[in-house]
Amino acid sequence: MSNDAAIITETLERVAERLGDPTPFVFQRLFIEAPEIESLFVRDADGLVRGQMFQVTIESLLDFLGDRSYGANLIQIERVNHQGLGVDPKVFDTFYVTVMATFKDILGADWTAEMEAAWTRAVGELTSHSG
Ligand code: HEM
């Protein structure tokens, strides 16, 4: 595991210790920043799609930082697939930035300089190929 992947895994563990599943917080923030996205989750009344998608986006991020076996490709494919669901490809960039901002808020004083560096690198790399 790369050092950045280890730091990002540690962030996830710290966040989980604080409040369990962070999915609702991430989407709450996303919908405040970009209210037009909320209306796209028309069929997801119980939040199951959001929960599973959040898992996959994080797993893809960790794969991207580690083995790089599928993460970047999957995200690229989903950027295209989601256009059929009305999701602009740029929303994927917004999403990862929002995940980072949410975790930073949750951890407060426990958000370290190492975390800031690892997340900034990861989000920067993942979002630099969008079109
Ligand atoms: C690797 C990344 C992702 C994967 C694998 C993924 C996967 C999926 C899957 C399997 C569905 C259900 C498909 C269907 O109902 O036809 C879905 C729906 C959806 N996804 Fe994603 N997703 C990803 C990232 C995202 C991101 C970043 C957003 C934006 C915040 C997003 C927004 C949506 C929306 C709005 C729906 C439709 C929900 C509904 O119909 O209520 N997805 N996604």
| Nearest protein Cα to ligand 1, atom 30 | 95
Evaluate if pTM is beyond 0.85: yes
Tokens of 28: 């709450």
pLDDT in tens, 18-65: 999 999 999 999 999 999 999 999 999 999 999 999 999 999 999 998
Burial of 75: CB neighbours in 10 Å, binned 0-12, 13-18, 19+: buried
Both tokens assigned to 101: 């901002």
Q: Candidates 54, 82, 96: which one to mutate for ligand 1, based on the most atoms within 8 Å of Cβ?
A: 82
Query: Buried b / exposed e across 45-69, counting CB within 10 Å, b at 16+?
Result: eeeeebeebbeebbebbbbbbbeee
pLDDT at position 129: 61
* CA 109–ligand 1 middle distance (angstroms): 32
113: pLDDT strictly greater than 60:
yes
pLDDT at 2 exceeding the cut of 90 = no
pLDDT in tens, 6-26: 999 999 999 999 999 999 999
Q: What is the CATH number of domain 3-127?
A: 1.10.490.10
Residues lining ligand 1, judged by CB closer than 6 Å? 37, 40-44, 49, 53, 56-57, 60, 74-75, 78, 82, 85, 87, 91-92, 95
